[in-house]
Chain A
Amino acid sequence: MVVGSGPGGLQASYLLGRYGIKHAVISADPGPGGMFRRFPFFQRLLSWTKPNAPYPQGTREYEWYDWNSLLAVEPENRSVMPPLMDGTSEFPSRPEMEAGLRTFAERTGLAVRYGTRWESTSRDGEGFLLHTSDGDYRAGTLIFAVGVAEAWSPATNGIEHVSHYVDTLDASAYAGKRLFIMGKQNSGFELASGLLHVASRIILASPRPAQLSVNTHSLAGVRARYVQPWEDSNLGGGVFIVNATIERVERHADGITVHTRRSDNGEPFAAEVDSVIAATGFQCPLHDLTDLGVTVFGQSRLPSMTNFYESATVPGIFFAGTIGQGVAGLKKYGIPANSGAVQGARYNARLMVQHVAETRFGVVRPRPRIKAADAIDYLLTEATTAPELWNQKSYLARAVSTDGHTLHDEGIVSLADFVDSPGPDAVAITVETDETGDIHPAVYVRRHGRVDSDARLQNSPLHDYRTAAHRRELLALTRGIIRR
């Protein structure tokens, strides 16, 4: 069973279909799109689809230039997004993204049972029973792609006077108002940037300083598209970015007073406003899965998972879509993977469904032979053009193993699983960014069942690693595995 019809559920269902694995998809929504049926409110998405790229639309390499189309094998189902965008931006609007997901679902013939709400879950022998508004469904394997969009607000004194991001109104409702936004991550900045032209004053507050993605050299932090309020605040343009803990919210005749405590000196600071919006966070709506034994962690109540997105505590329960952000991977230099976004989650879904197919449906993965003479160039070409490696840097890798005589292509693998699992001598290559923002290939070599170190190849101004120098470096690192 798959629960959810956002990008995660749709991608998982398509991939299950490709393996011929019988499944049903239910969704409480009346149609496909998941969170993109509602969010973001005012702004475009943060994921690009570039109509003109170094590689033609529909090719595998093009997936690095199109973060919004789901993955498919058939040419007519690939690169669905570009023709649906109006051409004025590399970022789709919310309606364009929703249309893209609807187009994918229709073209690939995904049979989603819309208007069917998952209500509760119980065990049924070796499998599970899903209790839904449409009756009970029995399945041996469950895949939850229910997103992380359930509104969550802190238990602050006076929280009843605060509305949540999900209930944000049309921009006109905030015309001339003094706005207080709790939270300084993307959702807070998205609201602020969308209301700069109507609100009379905007305060953005949370205990710790905002991080900007341009400083973290990654997609972590507030993205460039939403940074205008930051500049307004620097210039003193009616926007105030404050590091403070919100202690109490008080409504009175003329508006609302928000009582806070500053993070720098612990002094109290109060603001008089008309409206308070909590862009503080979202939770994963896992209903009664915790009663079944699924453990969760963090403010978002993400499930604890294995590297293949299976519950760490209840075998047979898997997750797809943005929930995969709970599998941190190596997170070198603190840089997270893109598992929370469509461009990363779609590849994670491929890994997850492959794992389900192999471990629960008897599918055997082909491991094509690679000639030793071709292996070095193959790995370097992957580092240069493989969309999996670029979308999920330091998280997914291309691996090649040896049985002593022959080299085999292990496919795209989870890097965390590769470096921590015993196995035959093998090489994995990925792309990584370090703390200075330098992008380069990284190589992991498994010998005698262990990966003892990481190594990096030199960088390249246009990120093309198919050079003689790179070949020499990779050859030296993989001696005894690729070549004798």
Chain B
Amino acid sequence: MNQDEVVDALAGVSLFADLRRPQLEAVAHTFTEESFPQGQRILRQGFQGTGFYVIVDGEVAVHIDGEERARLGKGDFFGEMSVLLGEPPVADIVALGSLRVLHLSGPELPGFLRQYPPVMYRMLQAVARRLRNANRWRN
């Protein structure tokens, strides 16, 4: 994927919906593109030092204690909970096929969010949505 394709992919990610093209280009340069084969864990339950990921192509499964709970695809993100809380992930994230992601290291995420407040707000909304859905399910 060349840089333009990465920027186009980022433009489709709701987290970055408020960023203009030059900002998306800067974001594309800040993240590192990585690839994982089928079955590889990208986030590991209980492991330290994990980062933040945005899916640019492919699908992942979310496993908690060995059980699949959800799937994420192009445009979705994961890993922010561990970074925000400074705790190991509570779920495994496993590549369901060949996967391409953009990766930002844990230590860089806080600075990145502060640099792009609209992204931080959208992340806040996404996390609030998850909390509401979890409460609904519980009730």
Contacts and interface: CB of A to CB of B under 8 A. Distances in A.
B22 A330 contact: no
A287 B51 CA distance: 33
Nearest to A449: B66
Given A328-B34, A334-B108, A435-B49, A245 B22 contact: yes
Given A333-B49, A435-B107, A453 B33 contact: no
A205 to B, nearest CB: 12
A374 interface: no
Interface string A254-267: 00000001010010
A162 interface: no
Contacts of A305: 35, 37
Contacts of B22: 245, 261, 263, 266
A450 B44 CA distance: 11
Nearest to A452: B46
Interface residues of B, number: 37
A332 interface: yes
B82 to A, nearest CB: 12
Given A295-B98, A453-B47, A207 B105 contact: no
A330 B47 contact: yes
A326 interface: yes
Given A266-B22, A333-B49, A416-B40, A326 B35 contact: yes
Contacts of A454: 46-48
Interface string B1-44: 11110000000000000001010011001100111111111001
B59 to A, nearest CB: 15
Contacts of B88: 453
Given A298-B1, A326-B35, A420-B40, A331 B103 contact: yes
B104 interface: yes
A304 interface: yes
Contact of A298 (B35, B46, B106): B35
Nearest to A281: B3
Nearest to A302: B35
Contact of B3 (A266, A299, A332): A299
Nearest to A416: B40
Contacts of A452: 45-46
Contacts of A298: 1, 33-35
Contact of A207 (B26, B46, B98): B26
Nearest to B56: A297
Nearest to B88: A453
A154 interface: yes
B45 A333 contact: no
A155 B3 CA distance: 10
A200 interface: no
Interface in B37-90: 37-41, 44-51, 66, 88
A304 B88 CA distance: 27
A297 B26 contact: no
Interface string A390-416: 000000000000000000000000001
Given A261-B22, A328-B34, A333-B107, A419 B44 contact: yes
Nearest to A208: B29
B33 A332 contact: no
Given A297-B35, A298-B33, A435 B106 contact: yes
A450 B41 CA distance: 12
Contacts of B98: 295, 304, 312-313
A339 interface: no
Contacts of A302: 35
A154 B37 contact: no
6 contacts: A206-B29, A312-B38, A333-B106, A434-B49, A435-B49, A452-B45
Given A297-B35, A450-B66, A452-B45, 17 more contacts: A208-B26, A208-B30, A245-B25, A295-B98, A299-B3, A304-B35, A312-B35, A333-B51, A334-B108, A335-B105, A419-B41, A420-B40, A420-B41, A435-B49, A435-B106, A451-B44, A453-B46
